Structure 1
């Protein structure tokens, strides 16, 4: 665990600083800053678009009765990629974009799931069967407004009330 903290809090910032200095010396300070801001903006848009796609895929998987394991892993990767893009620096931007590219993300998610399948102790949940009946993921329901429709007045009578009324009448 110490190695992870050391890499995240010491090595990555130093590497980012080195790359920013090198790129800044080649293209200038202002273009380097603008490049960092531009990658964050593009990354945010990509994260939103890719995230919505993965959510739709997960909904379809659930509707088919499948566990959305692949989509959950991809969703986590999209979140991590987006977080990396928000951090200032070009190295984390590159890694963040890699997590947002669908072919890279799908391959990494499949590899992670295959590794966990070989090592059952790695699972932190109990696998269950997903069953969803009579669900069509592409069905869209349209409702019509009742503003222009004719209104028919009526009275709702409960069937238990009818029996009570009939019982009262027969007792008389």
Structure 2
């Protein structure tokens, strides 16, 4: 009789990140808020006014996206003609995001989209996004391959290792081919 660590039929699942846990709840709350605001405005100003606001947001958002996309393409084309690497965003990405938010039906998304069209807001949001991306890239680059394997082992507390050999389809049926060893027959049950 051997004694060892108890094995569980189902290994423990890794914990969900905060974003994956709260994003669906936040989207549902945002949707409820948008619908409630549309009904409040429709009650105060009429349904036709709400319809005109939604159509105006759709048209303005499509114009903004088209203009920002055209400007981004012109900047890329000029950079390629000069032979220089393309410059960083220049606010075109935030302009496109603002246009997309304008196109989404709702008043809160329209206000956020209009805010993203303002240059001071673009500068603040763009600087924050750039710092966040740089910090995440530095954190990802600081780890090594050994750290990744150690992280993978943490999720399997029993530490079981299965020895095996990779056999590719192009290796004349089985074996490793160029290592000088004799070919092995395929594994069967």
When the two structures are superposed, what TM-score results if normalisation uses the length of structure 1? 0.57
Aligned to 2:105: 88
Please give the secondary structure, in 2, of the residue aligned with 1:70: coil
Q: 5+ unaligned residues in a row in structure 1: which ranges?
A: 124-172
Structure 1 counterpart of 2:165: none
Between Structure 1 and Structure 2, how many residues are aligned? 120
CA distance in 1, matches of 2:98, 2:46: 27
| Cα offset, 1:24, TM superposition | 1.4
Q: CA shift at 1:61, angstroms?
A: 4.8
User: Which structure is higher in helix share?
Assistant: 1
1:111 lines up with 2:116 in the alignment: no
Q: CA separation in 2, counterparts of 1:29 and 1:61?
A: 48
- Residues 89-148 of structure 1, C-alpha deviations (whole Å, 9 max, x = no match): 11111112223334422432222113333441368xxxxxxxxxxxxxxxxxxxxxxxxx
Shift of 1:40: 1.1
User: What is the correspondence of 1:1-172 to structure 2 with a 5 Å cutoff?
Assistant: 1-8=20-27, 10-61=28-79, 63=82, 65-71=84-90, 74-119=91-136, 120-121=138-139
Deviations 1:141-170 (CA, angstroms, capped at 9, x unpaired): xxxxxxxxxxxxxxxxxxxxxxxxxxxxxx
Does 1 or 2 have the higher relative contact order (CA < 8 Å, sep 6+)? 1
The root-mean-square deviation of aligned C-alpha atoms, in Å, is 2.6
CA contact (8 A) 1:51 1:75 kept: yes
Shift of 1:58: 3.9
What stretches of structure 2 of length at least 5 have no aligned partner?
Answer: 1-19, 142-189
- Checking the alignment, whether the CA contact within 8 Å between 1:50 and 1:100 is kept in structure 2 is no
CA distance in 2, matches of 1:57, 1:89: 32
Q: Does the Cα contact within 8 Å between 2:60 and 2:103 map onto a contact in 1? A: no
